[in-house]
Structure 1
């Protein structure tokens, strides 16, 4: 006689988990591990981090996965170490070296020239992503095309580097290391900044190390390691708190909240971009945006 099946573990409540991602793991690896300790398949991430990078990775749990595409559009901040003196196939330290500058050329790189190069890469710029990035070319990821042996040409795209501050410069024997803080728009590649800074100085460059410190309003202060989360699986913010932290808030009266629950449109809020709609009980109902004089639900967050 077979033994009875153990009771199914109830689904966790919806919300966000802020992870301090370790080096050596892909963002998908982190999601796979989170699925195990959170007890649900409904886990996703906002804003991919490369395996070599560490820091803030925002995970959505259950209905909060609906927020992730909107969170990924936010600005991000990084602590980076750029290595000047050689270029690589991936524009970071994990790639094969393509070319190295001679020692004399590296020795001639002056701090003032670095500062000028950084200034040219600050503000609204046109950036060509790395050939091994996740950018889609005709529906296929660039890195997949590279692995298939294709020559990949990615057109430049507009990005914004709000802040590119040099924290320190170290002149080593065969390279120069530059520590910097970079605050940028979504879609900006810090390794492309390293590549372009080195190219502008005539010695080549690549990203040596990267740590993401913020994604929108979410910071390392809220982040926990995977080991900590596995020991105590819990949300960093529940769904209501997550929307309140990440989006402008619009509080509705009972009648207007009822209209939203019935799929009806309501008058525009006069708010810019996407905002959260909250019922009189303080629970979030949807993400919405103004369109032609009405508030249109972009993402419905009510339980199924």
Structure 2
């Protein structure tokens, strides 16, 4: 029997997130596997998989802040805002020669903080029930609405200037829903030379680091983190008694237990170390918003 849990995977380039899920289903012998947050085929890095009952935790993981390492090429734009697209414009030598570090720093600063961002037309956002990237590849006009995102860190860690382009290696810490391709596009547009992404790697999701991830080839033997451990790391922990665990599983409230919460929504852990579910404050009481299937002690 396959146990519930979470696997951190370091996705290689050239695979879709669904490819990784399909490989995990074959390796572990179960169909009940999902992921928290899509990575483009070009991108590498951290992909979080939920197995069996732990798929219920993915909704609490997908909205966590992310960290990316990326390379932005200034000097040309593409129709996908990354290196896999077709070039649509190229800056002349004079414009590139005027690209000083001070101008780049000002452009980066303007895209840091709370910003309004139009996602790339080849994003996974659904338009009329279909993915934007499917519509774009069919030649349809795709208009996506701007959205508010937070870029808490946008740092240039290295720059390389050539005759036709300036490559910037950057680190970005951002809220869920931020598109790094759009940052590359918008930085290039603001500087008047065009820009697109040539490399992207996700290195962190909330408290989870790619350094702790297994390769896609090693999923079958990868460490399976317990639902209790993952939920506590994401939400914080509330220890409950056996009687309280039973009440929560039966849909009852824990009367007067709200002062015990470390946050508005936390993971309730029973005396055996198993995850009962996710609970939240309801006035002075505590109530389940998601219950887990009962599991062996972890």
Range of TM-score over shorter length:
over 0.9
Contact 1:271 1:290 in 2 (8 A): no
Alignment of 1:75-154 (within 5 A): 75-154=65-144
Shift of 1:288: 1.8
Measured on the aligned residues, the alpha-carbon RMSD in Å equals 1.5
Structure 1: 4+ residue segments shifted above 6 A: none
What residue is the counterpart of 2:286 in the other structure?
295
Contact 1:86 1:99 in 2 (8 A): yes
Contact 2:228 2:267 in 1 (8 A): no
142, 156, 167: which one aligns with 1:166: 156
Contact 1:15 1:235 in 2 (8 A): no
Alignment of 1:150-299 (within 5 A): 150-230=140-220, 233-267=221-255, 268=258, 269-299=260-290
Shift of 1:293: 4.0
1:52 aligns with 2:42: yes
1:24 aligns with 2:9: no
41, 44, 51: which one aligns with 1:61: 51
- Counterpart CA distance in 2 for 1:98 and 1:273 is 48
**So what's the TM-score if we normalise by structure 1?**
0.92
- Counterpart CA distance in 2 for 1:18 and 1:157 is 29
- Counterpart CA distance in 1 for 2:179 and 2:284 is 37
CA deviation map 1:8-62 (0-9, x unaligned): xx3x111111001000000000000011111111111001100011111101111
Distance 1:224 1:270, change over 3 A: closer
* Segment drifting more, 191-200 vs 255-264: 255-264
Contact 1:222 1:236 in 2 (8 A): no
- Counterpart CA distance in 2 for 1:163 and 1:236 is 31
Contact 1:260 1:266 in 2 (8 A): yes
- Counterpart CA distance in 2 for 1:58 and 1:245 is 14
* Segment drifting more, 277-286 vs 77-86: 277-286
CA deviation map 1:198-245 (0-9, x unaligned): 000000000110111111111022111112334xx2334122221122
CA deviation map 1:113-155 (0-9, x unaligned): 1111110111111110001101122333212222333211111
- Counterpart CA distance in 1 for 2:206 and 2:71 is 22
Shift of 1:270: 4.4
Aligned-partner SS, 1:104:
helix
- Counterpart CA distance in 2 for 1:197 and 1:284 is 44
- Counterpart CA distance in 1 for 2:182 and 2:166 is 17
- Counterpart CA distance in 2 for 1:60 and 1:69 is 10
